[in-house]
Amino acid sequence: MGPLSNEEVIRKVSTNFVPIAVNTRKMRDKSIDTPSTRFFRKVSDQTTQGQGVWIVTPEGKVLAAYHGPSDLTERTRGFLETIDAGLNAFGEVTPREFKLMNPLPYRGAGVEEDGQVTLAISIRGTNGGGKPGHPVVVEEHSAWLWKGEFRQAGYAIFDSVTFTAKEWTSFAPAQTEVGAEWTIPVAVASQFARVVAGRTDRSTMFRAEDAKLAKLTCKIEAVEGGVARIRLIGGFDAVHAVESNKNKPVFGQAVAEGIALYDLNRRSMQSLLLVFHGTFRDVPPHDKTAHPVSAAVEWRVEAEKR
């Protein structure tokens, strides 16, 4: 939970500014030349920071900028000081009323016009819950991490995975009687490798091509009221070389258990829930402990109306 979840920061940003969120890699991609990328480069060239916050005029003049330390209290204070400095430099601003917007309306809900769907992914370090069926042999010194009730043990990582219309059809049954079984193609299942994350940054994120095992099977276990209940069971194993050092891989493993509902009359998926339990090993020499990590992957057919 960073400074952007601080209520004073939220109030000041929402009522005084036009807030924009961008990916610096896309903005700095020299093959992309648009008014947006030109504006961003004009702004970022005025300071030495590579990412963070810039307070700028509509013409692109930087009034204040900040990329603070990891300490949350100090960083939040830095955000507020930067906001105030930017507002003072800009001059009078009429506070605006704003309405809540959803910048990711298809995250975890609905089908887009071209048929693609985006599953919402939530990842978190967890403790407890035991380890029946767990995919990794856990060293004795860290076995305590699985004792007790299943509980949170870290911050949540907010992520998603998008499937094309063709990929999404692999989750639907070809045969609709109870007991029908099928396997999700490896190219599709591999895209779940990213859920076994120990950290939020993309440098340690498992890509589909990092998957050494990506097995996800489906079986209709019941049909009630024209809706098939599909049981999903999976196993995943991935190794990823971090961008800064190709000789330092991270390791992730997980098992998955889930249920999807499929409307047999409409021939369409209604919902999907997958829960992953696994372990993440950081780069050497920090790979001695397998850290428990869990993920929830969700989607429902109704798009949110906001």
Partner 1 sequence: MKASFAITVVLWSVHVVAAAERPTLQELTTKAAIIKPRPDELKWQHIPWLTDVAEAVRLAKQEKRPIFLWATTDEPLERC
Residues 172-191 that bind partner 1 (CB under 8 A): none
For the CB of residue 187, give the shortest distance to partner 1 in the complex, in Å.
19
For the CB of residue 264, give the shortest distance to partner 1 in the complex, in Å.
18
Binder among 109, 167, 294, 299 for partner 1 (CB under 8 A) = 294
86 near partner 1, rule: CB under 8 A: yes
Q: Which two tokens stand for residue 272?
A: 């999907």
Nearer to partner 1, 151 or 166 (CB): 151
Nearer to partner 1, 90 or 172 (CB): 90
Q: Is 269 strand, coil or helix?
A: strand
263 near partner 1, rule: CB under 8 A: no
Nearer to partner 1, 23 or 169 (CB): 23
Binder among 80, 111, 208, 233 for partner 1 (CB under 8 A) = 233
Task: Say how many residues touch partner 1, by CB under 8 A.
Answer: 104
Residues 2-31 touching partner 1, rule: CB under 8 A, are 2, 4-7, 10, 13-14, 16-25, 27
Residues 116-155 touching partner 1, rule: CB under 8 A, are 122-124, 126, 129, 132-137, 150-152, 155
Single out the residue of 110, 137, 297, 300 nearest to residue 216, CA to CA: 297
Q: Please calculate the CA angle 191-23-3 and round it to the nearest 5 degrees.
A: 105
Using CA atoms, how far apart are residues 255 and 133, in angstroms rounded to an integer? 8
* Strand order, beta sheet including 211-224: 151-163, 117-127, 291-300, 268-281, 249-263, 227-241, 211-224, 181-183
With beta carbons less than 8 A apart as the criterion, state whether 136 and 290 touch: yes
Q: Is 81 strand, coil or helix?
A: helix
